[in-house]
Amino acid sequence: MAAAPEPASPARLVVLVSGSGTNLQALLDAVAEHGAAAYGAEVVAVGADRPDIEGLRRAERAGLPTFVERVRDHPTRAAWDAALAEAVAAHRPDLVVSAGFMKIVGADFLARFGGRFINTHPALLPSFPGAHAVGDALAHGVKVTGCTIHFVDAGIDSGPIIAQGVVELREDDDESSLHERIKDVERRLLVEVVGRLARDGYTVKGRKVSIP
């Protein structure tokens, strides 16, 4: 990957969700607090892989267009991936944010948005990739864990790392309490990273992401 195209001003964000949408809300709150011009970005649409979720309701309350692409509504996973890519592309995003989007995208989507598709992960990658990162870290007995913001590639949580935040474990932590503290750090870090990428631009050389 090389330098990303110059974003619009403010940058256009499409956010993908699968659940409650708390990361989406953090981005909406940042835009509302600072204004799109000062923050550098605005959410222009929200997509999901299933209907009737709080993430979509948050978008609708904010007056944003929404779309849903369910895997089961398409004959193959590849057809779903192509449809998702088309639905996202219709909103002309500069950046796409996976904010708790629990589906793995495929070749069509990455061909359109590789190097512009951001994901959050509740562990310090490359340790503990996959869907059970918090429990895996806890079971491993680590003393610190955290969250990672990274670009998505064809692997599982394997794309270039943009930023990380650290969370120390406590003696009385269970998976739920630890995950809640990670989410607090994750929301703040996502807001910071998206704003910086949008305002300042970035380059990706191999695995190294640089923001001026």
Output b/e per residue, 114-140; b: 16+ Cβ within 10 A.
bbbbbbbbbbbbeebbeeebbebbbee
Band of the pLDDT at 140, cuts 50, 70, 90? very high
Could you say which of 121, 140, 150, 179 is catalytic? 121
- The predicted model gives 80-98 an average pLDDT of 98
pLDDT tens string 42-66: 999 999 999 999 999 999 999 999 9
Measured distance CA(29)–CA(53) in Å, rounded = 19
Q: What does pTM read for this prediction?
A: 0.93
Q: Is 121 a catalytic residue?
A: yes
Give the model confidence (pLDDT) of 181-207 as tens digits: 999 999 999 999 999 999 999 999 999
